[in-house]
Structure 1
Amino acid sequence: MKTRVSLWMLIVVLFTAFALPSSISASTGDQGINEKLGLPIVVYGEALSEAQKAEVSELLEVNQHDQVDEFTVNGQDLANYIGGNPNSNMYSSVKIIHQDNAEGLNIEIVTPDNITQVTKEMYTNALLTAGVENADVLVASSVKVSGHSALTGIYKAYDAKGVKLDEERMKVASDELDIATDIAEKEGVDRDKISELLTEIKKQIAEQDPATREEVEQIVQDQLQSLNIELSEEDRQRLIDLFEQMRNLNINFDQVQNQLEDLTGSIQDLINDDGFWNSLRNAVQDFFKSLSNFINSLFN
């Protein structure tokens, strides 16, 4: 009997160690004031109540830093940076920690249930388009929002610190986010699949350096076909127009090629994630069924 109980305990320990997923999040631990890169920046949505602001502050772990630079983003900022509605209510809030060159751009949505349309891969794609690199960015909201206004908060953070992002690139990045979320909603295409499409098109633009609209159109069409995505003619033209704008802005995606490669890998992991968790669910069910049978045999 003692041997059987010991074996049962060993099985439970091994299952706990290897089968149950662990929570992984971006590390933003306080290591004092970085005099080279500056203080972390926190930008709160103006529409937050004091209680909501306190909740967001806790979510973004603001108190773990000795000092932060704090700002507020409002509808007028939305109008100034990307031509949005100045009467918009702004809820999405962000924390930005600048990193050394080559560290890459790392996005974490702290409240995924409250950011309903924009994925972290969409944010990454749009921010690379806007020229934001080498930073850890955390996004949070205390209420359900689409997530679009977080871009404006990031733009304001850079502006307030004296870093001028290109206005045209910011506008194109906002258009990119709008198109990505619109296509996902209207066409019923998985959001991760849309992110993969945008990333692959950028990679091909970096490799092929298209000189004409027709070449951009061919790249878009090739990637739609490669990923087996069918779009309406209207949405296909929106994509072509978007990347034609990028071509005219001479955005050099060669500079962020490694980040685009990393983004492709992370998106693929997400796309394959459902299969993994389905397999794990089945394994868990089988495990507990076998465990139940085993325990019953101990007392029979």
Structure 2
Amino acid sequence: MKNHIGLFLLSFILMFTSFLPQGVQASTGNEGINEKLGLPIVVYGEALSDAQKSEVTDLLEVDQHDEVDEFTVTGQDIANYIGGNPNSNMYSSVKIIHQDNGEGIDIEIATPDNITEVTKEMYHNALLTAGVENADVLVASSVQVSGHSALTGIYKAYDAKGVSLDEDRMKVANEELDVATSLADEEGVDEAEVSELLTEIKKAIAEQNPATKEEIEQIVEEQLSNLNIELSEEDRQRLIDLFDQMRNLNINFDDVRNQLDELTGGLQDIINDEGFWDNLSNAIQEFFEALTDFFRSVFN
């Protein structure tokens, strides 16, 4: 009898999971060497010990590729790319697989418990600001870190492949990441709400094409109001200054509008999908009806 019950429950689990949304994973499988796009790039944090580097190698699934280009990101790199502290200890590491034009950016964090401040949506937003396009990115760390150094590693990977990213855009992207993590940490705003706020401001900038700092301020205030987010005057000003810098760099967010929509739309699509919830409800109801019939058959 126990075997029958176990098989029945297993069948339900399989039926139930068939209705769940499937996560999108960065492409990391063994696909051979792509002669058009080049080898995957792995950038290790310089502060990793040999044992930690070995662990990160496993986390980034490096052995799934026939060959990779390997680099190390250092404190000097963070100074060169974004004007950071050259004495910084770099732990977070990344793997980048270049994709065809139009594929966009796909980011996954292999060790979410060890990347304590930066979410994948924050990385996504910052990379769009920096001008990074069309790549699968996998981030990992063997120790708990904020996750900031991974961004520098991505910049170094692109530079190593001969893709020149604008220095000013990289610095603004790093400032964006600092603002995002600060709002989540100091203001207590949910990380997802922070990412949504930054994304909605960019979408509004793309739509309205503001010409002055005053217009940027209006957009920031409107989006804070729309999302019911309360910030200190200091942090409101940080947001205004940040996006005014972006305005002065003439970043064209229309070029990445689809990705900005995806950043805010994914969860809402699931929540608002009546068909999904109807199917799930029907599946649960059918399960309990079948369960009742099953036990009746066993004990009668």
TM-score by length of 2: 0.87
Provide closer, same or farther for how the CA distance between residues 188 and 264 of structure 1 changes in structure 2, counting only shifts above 3 A.
same
The one-letter code of the counterpart of 2:253 is F
Task: Indicate if the aligned counterparts of 1:108 and 1:138 stay in contact, CA closer than 8 A.
Answer: yes
Matched ranges for 1:183-262 at <5 A:
183-262=183-262
Matches of 1:230 and 1:222, distance apart in 2? 12
Report deviation, 1:76: 0.7
TM-superposed CA distance for 1:268, in Å, is: 4.3
Partner of 2:47: 47
Q: 1:23 to 1:291 in 2, by over 3 A?
A: farther
- Distance across 2 between alignment mates of 1:136 and 1:29: 12
1:114 match: 114
State the alpha-carbon separation in 1 of the partners of residues 56 and 211 from structure 2. Answer: 46
Distance between the aligned counterparts of 2:232 and 2:267, measured in 1?
24
TM-score, length basis structure 1: 0.87
Aligned partners of 2:188, 2:150: CA distance in 1, in Å? 24
Aligned positions of 1:4-15 closer than 5 A = 9-10=7-8, 12-15=10-13
Tell me what 1:90 maps to. Answer: 90
How far the C-alpha of 1:171 sits from its partner, in A, is 0.2
1:210 maps to a residue whose letter is: P
The code of the aligned residue for 1:16 comes to: L
Q: Matches of 2:152 and 2:107 in 1, distance apart?
A: 15
Return closer, same or farther for 1:143/1:226 CA change in 2, 3 Å cut-off: same
Separation in 2 of the partners of 1:268 and 1:150?
29
State the 1:164 CA deviation.
1.0
1:192–1:267 Cα contact (<8 Å) kept: no
Displacement of 1:262 in angstroms is 1.1
Contact 1:91 1:141 in 2 (8 A): yes
* Residue 180, structure 1, aligned to residue 177, structure 2: no
Identity percentage of aligned residues: 75
Measure how far apart 1:291 and its partner are: 6.4
The Cα shift of 1:298 comes to: 4.7
SS for the counterpart of 2:143 is coil
Separation (CA, whole Å) in 2 of partners of 1:86 and 1:271: 45
Query: Per-residue CA shift, 1:132-180, capped at 9, x if unaligned?
Result: 0100000000000010111000011111111110000000000000000
- Cα shift readout 1:58-116 (whole Å, capped 9, x = no counterpart): 11111111111000001111111111111111000000000000001000001111001
Bigger shift: 27-36 or 40-49? 27-36
Flag structure 1 segments of 5+ consecutive residues without an equivalent: none
Does the CA contact (< 8 Å) of 1:115 and 1:145 recur in 2?
A: yes
Structure 1 partner of 2:153: 153
Q: Quick check: 1:192–1:271 contact (8 Å CA) kept in 2?
A: no
CA contact (8 A) 2:26 2:137 kept: no
Q: Please report how far the alpha carbon of residue 18 of structure 1 lies from its aligned counterpart in structure 2 after TM superposition.
A: 1.3
More deviation, 263-272/106-115: 263-272
